């Protein structure tokens, strides 16, 4: 029996076979991934997997010798959020719980521990442990430090601007703590060296400027080594090299879109190592023993891996695996400390991902499980990277997805799908259930990384500051017109759709370009920019308030003029508004006010309100119902029913 079948039996995972129908059931796109992550223990004896059982994520621990194991379940209202092997026989994990009427569970900030055989499950740190009002997270697993793990702990001090994190060594069996230093800046992230010494703390201050602090080791004083407020480069430490004297930094790079630099602790100088031509670093791939890094992952269009040390064992294995899975994204997710066994994920634009176990002794890989086993890769649509020029000459990147089997088709109904964020967030080449749902219903889907999006350098992000509804919107318009000029889109059948900022862009596009879009779908969107300063969780802190001033500006007349609600009289597009009653990021008042304004202007529109949903629908039934309504709305306006 294969490992996959054993895991499925263990987890009682019963995925129904896809229906033998021409159209893929919408519920297939609404379901949460059944398997989220899998990691191998440091000695290779166990696997730990997070999987959805009876609607909730559990931690499954499997002994590789006999393939027997146990499921670790949090409290009735919770599920496993993230987990780490911190010793050969010990796992730490965090939980999320449904604390209010909100459907989506929220992180509690607690850390739990459990042995590999399921024994000694215990709460180690958190508000239910000795009334310790803190949130904790893992900084770095320390396999060789006597069952100690480095954590970052933040006390709930009541300040909206956050607290100064404390780095502590925690005994993974008992939860006892040893203080190793407090960050010199609020909400900082820590970076430790290979010996577990906390050497960097960095973060953005309430003035929105990045600062990086360094110290020689635990107990030493912090020195400010990079300060964006003094016009120094915006950089971030990523980790130490094996010698613990040099550290890797994300830096601007020669092309300004992002690069990798080496920083020497003695000279305190940056040395460029790699520069992205189109996109910056997504992540660094660690060595098997986690004491160095072996490769750079980036996404100029499709995913790309650049080897740092081509002669390393890790690089050779990566090369072999990428050759075995051409055209797909191969990512090592965990390994034993000696590299004898490796878990890796293979995914693509049409495949949500499959986990494999590579056994070095046998020289072969065995498939473990698929994240969404009900998805058939052969039925999904291909996502093609595209490039175009904005009207001011700025290079823009994005993706075009045509319906499956229509790779060269022209004059298609088009959905312009705008991502949220907007700053630092980007569309990328991977499996997107919303995109695939739209394509399965016969629509081409266009995504553009407008200025302000992440992945293309700080200058590209900054180019979007104070450009809500202006140049950022023009980028989306220019991408739409590019699709028309290229012959992909039927100019009479175009809809614009997005969530959060994307919801704003959808309605702003429909009001600013009334003859371009036949319909607009605003999902948990912002429609009155002035309310950003008074409603939601962003303006509740000095940090958030300064952020809004930086990216939106403070001129109320400009904010009003760029708000979709100010221009409903010019609407020609059919409108659908989707609102979550428990949304804390974009409170329902945004959608409610636009709903009322449309009613007052006697503009018919579709109104979808889910009282228990937040910033994006989470419940699978709600998601499936929403997809059905979106599909019907599109069909009525730009699909078969709208011709």
DSSP class of residue 614 equals B
Tell whether the model's pLDDT for residue 342 goes beyond 80: yes
Measured CA to CA, the distance from residue 195 to residue 198 in angstroms comes to: 9
Nearest CA to 244 out of 284, 196, 295 is that of 196
d(CA 236, CA 202): 7
What pLDDT shows up at residue 9? 39
Rounded to whole angstroms, the Cα distance separating 94 from 84 reads: 9
Of all residues in the chain, the percent with pLDDT exceeding 70 is 95
| E strand segments, 13-64 | 35-40, 46-53, 56-63
- Compute the distance between CA of residue 298 and CA of residue 258 in angstroms, rounded to an integer: 10
pLDDT of residue 131: 65
Determine the Cα–Cα distance for residues 585 and 537; give it in Å rounded to an integer: 5
Give the tens place of pLDDT for each residue, 473-526: 999 999 999 999 999 999 999 999 999 999 999 999 999 999 999 999 999 999
Looking at residue 141, its pLDDT comes to 65
| Gyration radius of the chain over CA positions | 25
pLDDT interval class at 1 (50, 70, 90) = very low
Residue 249 reports pLDDT greater than 90: yes
Among 18-32, 281-295, 392-406, the range scoring the smallest mean pLDDT is 18-32
pTM confidence score: 0.93
Please give the DSSP secondary-structure letter assigned to residue 338.
T
User: Distance of CA 436 to CAs 33, 166, 350, 369, 404, Å?
Assistant: 15, 43, 8, 21, 9
Q: What pLDDT is stored for residue 20 in this prediction?
A: 39
pLDDT of residue 99: 80
Q: What is the pLDDT of residue 130?
A: 66
The pLDDT of residue 160: 76
Can you state the angle between helices 620-637 and 433-440, rounded to 10 degrees? 40
Q: How far apart are CA 156 and CA 231, in angstroms?
A: 33
| Domains defined along the chain, listed by start | 381-642 (3.40.50.1820)
pLDDT at 552 > cutoff 90: yes
Burial of residue 295 (number of CB atoms within 10 Å: 0-12, 13-18, 19+): buried
Does 641 have pLDDT greater than 60?
no
pLDDT score for 126: 87
Look at residue 607 and tell me whether its pLDDT is greater than 70. yes
Residue-averaged pLDDT of the chain: 92
Measured CA distances, 313 to 286, 306, 320, 562 (Å): 12, 15, 11, 54
Categorize the per-residue pLDDT at 54 as very low, low, confident or very high, splitting at 50, 70 and 90: confident
CA angle 598, 602, 607 (to 5 degrees): 45
* Cα gap 412→637, rounded to integer Å: 13
State yes or no: pLDDT of 642 exceeds 60.
no
Q: Note the pLDDT tens digit of each residue in 29-53.
A: 999 999 999 999 999 999 999 999 8
In this structure, of 252-256, 299-303, 449-453, 528-532, the range with the lowest mean pLDDT score is 252-256
Q: Mean pLDDT throughout 287-301?
A: 95
pLDDT at 22: 66
Q: For residue 159, what pLDDT is reported?
A: 75
Q: Flag whether pLDDT at 11 surpasses 70.
A: no
pLDDT per position as a tens digit, 185-240: 999 999 999 999 999 999 999 999 999 999 999 999 999 999 999 999 899 999 99
Per-residue model confidence as pLDDT tens digits over 114-125: 999 999 999 999
Give the Cα separation of 635 and 586 in Å (integer).
28
For residues 563 and 594, give the distance between their C-alpha atoms in angstroms, rounded to a whole number. Answer: 10
Percent of the chain whose pLDDT exceeds 90: 86
Q: What is the pLDDT of residues 93-150, one digit of tens each?
A: 999 998 888 899 999 999 999 999 999 999 999 888 766 688 999 997 665 567 899 9
DSSP 347-401: E-SS---EEEEEETTTTEEEEEEESSTT--GGGSPPEEEEEEE-TTS-EEEEEEE
Q: How confident is the model at residue 601, as a pLDDT?
A: 96
CB of 232 within 8 A of CB of 269? no
10 has pLDDT over 90: no
Question: pLDDT band for position 8 (50/70/90)?
Answer: very low
CB 25 within 8 A of CB 43: no
- Measuring CA to CA, which residue among 615, 573, 578, 589 is closest to residue 530? 589
């Amino acid at each position: 029996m294969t490992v996959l079948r054993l895991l499925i039996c263990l987890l009682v995972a019963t995925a129904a076979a896809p229906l033998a129908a021409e159209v893929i059931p919408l519920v297939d796109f609404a379901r949460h991934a059944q398997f989220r992550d899998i990691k191998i223990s440091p000695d290779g004896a166990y696997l730990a997997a997070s999987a959805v059982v009876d609607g909730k994520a559990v931690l499954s621990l499997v002994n590789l010798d006999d393939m027997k194991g146990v499921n670790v379940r949090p409290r009735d209202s919770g599920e496993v959020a993230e987990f780490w092997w911190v010793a050969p026989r010990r796992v730490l994990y965090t939980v999320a719980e449904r604390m209010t009427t909100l459907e989506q569970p929220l992180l509690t900030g607690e850390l739990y521990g459990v042995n590999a055989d399921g024994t000694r499950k215990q709460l180690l740190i958190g508000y239910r442990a000795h009334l310790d009002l803190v949130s904790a997270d893992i900084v770095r697993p320390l396999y060789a430090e006597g069952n100690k793990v480095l954590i970052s702990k933040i006390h709930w001090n009541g300040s909206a601007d956050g607290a100064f994190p404390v780095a502590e060594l925690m005994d993974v069996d008992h939860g006892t703590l040893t203080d190793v230093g407090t960050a010199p800046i609020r909400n900082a992230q820590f970076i430790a060296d290979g010996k577990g010494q906390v050497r960097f703390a960095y973060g953005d201050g309430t003035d929105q400027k990045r600062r990086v602090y360094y110290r020689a080791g635990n107990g030493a004083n912090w020195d400010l080594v990079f300060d964006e407020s003094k016009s120094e480069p915006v950089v971030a430490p990523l980790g130490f090299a094996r010698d613990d004297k040099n550290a890797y930094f994300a830096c601007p790079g020669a092309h300004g879109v992002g690069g990798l630099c080496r920083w020497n602790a003695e000279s305190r100088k940056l040395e460029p190592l790699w520069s992205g031509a189109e996109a910056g670093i997504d992540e660094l791939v660690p060595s098997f023993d986690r004491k160095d890094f072996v490769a750079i992952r980036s996404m100029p269009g499709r995913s790309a891996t650049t080897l740092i040390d081509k002669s390393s064992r890790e690089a050779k294995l990566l090369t072999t695996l990428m050759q075995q899975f051409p055209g797909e994204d191969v990512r090592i997710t965990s390994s034993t400390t000696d590299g004898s066994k490796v878990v890796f994920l293979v995914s693509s634009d049409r495949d949500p991902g499959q986990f494999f176990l590579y056994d070095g002794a046998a020289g072969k890989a065995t498939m473990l499980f698929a994240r969404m086993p009900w998805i058939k890769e052969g039925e999904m649509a291909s996502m093609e990277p595209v490039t175009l020029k904005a009207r001011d000459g700025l290079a823009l990147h994005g993706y075009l997805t045509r319906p499956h089997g229509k790779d060269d088709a022209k004059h298609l109904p088009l959905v312009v799908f705008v991502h949220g964020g907007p700053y630092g967030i980007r569309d990328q080449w991977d499996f997107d259930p919303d995109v695939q749902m739209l394509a399965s219903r016969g629509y081409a889907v266009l995504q553009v990384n407008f200025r302000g999006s992440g992945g293309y350098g700080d200058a590209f992000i900054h180019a979007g500051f104070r450009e809500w509804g202006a140049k950022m919107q023009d980028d989306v318009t220019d991408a739409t017109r590019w699709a028309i000029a290229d012959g992909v889109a039927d100019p009479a059948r175009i809809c614009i759709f997005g969530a959060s900022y994307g919801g704003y862009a959808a309605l702003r596009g429909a009001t600013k370009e009334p003859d371009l879009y036949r319909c607009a779908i605003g999902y948990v969107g912002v429609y009155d920019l002035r309310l950003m300063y008074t409603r939601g969780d962003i303006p509740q802190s000095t940090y958030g308030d300064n952020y809004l001033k930086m990216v939106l500006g403070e001129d109320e007349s400009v904010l009003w003029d760029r708000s979709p609600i100010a221009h409903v009289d010019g609407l020609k597009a059919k409108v659908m508004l989707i609102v979550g009653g428990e949304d804390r990021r974009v409170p329902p008042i945004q959608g409610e006010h636009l709903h009322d304004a449309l009613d007052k202007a006697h503009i018919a529109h579709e109104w979808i309100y889910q009282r228990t949903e937040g910033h994006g629908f989470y419940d699978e039934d709600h998601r499936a119902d929403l997809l059905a309504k979106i599909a019907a709305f599109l069909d009525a306006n730009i699909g078969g029913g709208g011709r």
